[in-house]
Amino acid sequence: MPTDSVLGTCYVDPDYFTDNAAALGCEPAIARLDSDQLTALIALASREVDNHCGRTFTPDPISENHRFDLATRRISVNSPPVIEIISFHIRIATQVVSTFDVENVLINNQENYLELASLAAIASQQLTSQVIALGITEPQVEVTYRSYQSVPQSVAAATAILAAFRANESFANSAIAPGISSVRSREQQITRDGSAKSGGEIPQVVKDLLRGVSQIVVG
């Protein structure tokens, strides 16, 4: 995926964005941008998408800590779906960790949980006995996994629409400074659309597209 050196990965290819600028309604707005500026625009929109969703959509490993329920042997991750578990450890003391084979961890993406097989828990040096002996009330799972390996179509669409929106917003600001509602000369008057707030929230259509891929916050 194309990347800006400062703002990071683009969730939409800049060439694709340029080719479809007319359909996105931003062709005049991006005509003045060079390739680096266009990449920065899309990368910035991608980071806004990350911020809204509370997660990223790169194929990089994700590492999290969760309280381990000894009764159910389940945890729920923050950034489903889980495509691959890389490692699964249970920390039962500051310096004591039980490591489990990832093949013994069930992935249920429908209900968003990972479950450690009971036989695996028993085989791992009597996990429950260790917890009791060491006085740990809430052992922690340290899990590393991979989620999406490519950008979901809804995320790409949301990024494209948001980048187009920001481009048009910037284009309007070049004609009328933010905070000024209209500019008038002898020949013409330019009035800013009152419903479009500079630097405001992302458009509702973007929120709708991202509804199914936002982070699930786990306590």
Residue 75 and residue 143 in contact, taking contact as beta carbons nearer than 8 Å: yes
pLDDT at 196 (0 to 100) = 47
pLDDT at 198 (0 to 100) = 47
Tokens (6 digits) for 188:
């013409």
| Cα(34)–Cα(17) distance, integer angstroms | 13
pLDDT at 96 (0 to 100) = 78
Which of 48-52, 58-62, 81-85, 130-134 is predicted least confidently?
130-134
The average confidence (pLDDT) of the chain is 85
Please say if the pLDDT value at position 160 is more than 60: yes
Tokens (6 digits) for 114:
């990972």
Element (H, E) at 194: none
| Cα(134)–Cα(131) distance, integer angstroms | 5
Instruction: State the Rg of the chain over Cα.
Output: 24
pLDDT at 99 (0 to 100) = 87
Q: What single letter denotes the amino acid at residue 29? A: A
- CA max distance for the chain: 86
Which of 63-77, 110-124, 145-159, 178-192 is predicted least confidently?
178-192
Residues of the chain with pLDDT > 90, as a percent, come to 63
pLDDT at 177 (0 to 100) = 55
Average pLDDT over residues 140-158: 95
Q: Which of 86, 80, 30 is nearest to 55 (CA)?
A: 80
> What's the whole-model pTM score?
0.78
User: For residue range 63-104, what is the model confidence (pLDDT) as tens digits?
Assistant: 999 998 888 999 999 999 999 999 999 887 777 788 899 999
> In degrees rounded to 5, what are phi and psi of residue 124?
-90, 70
Q: How far is CA 164 from CA 34, 42, 76, 79, 159, in A?
A: 15, 9, 35, 27, 8
Residue 114 and residue 87 in contact, taking contact as beta carbons nearer than 8 Å: no
pLDDT at 176 (0 to 100) = 59
| Cα(200)–Cα(216) distance, integer angstroms | 25
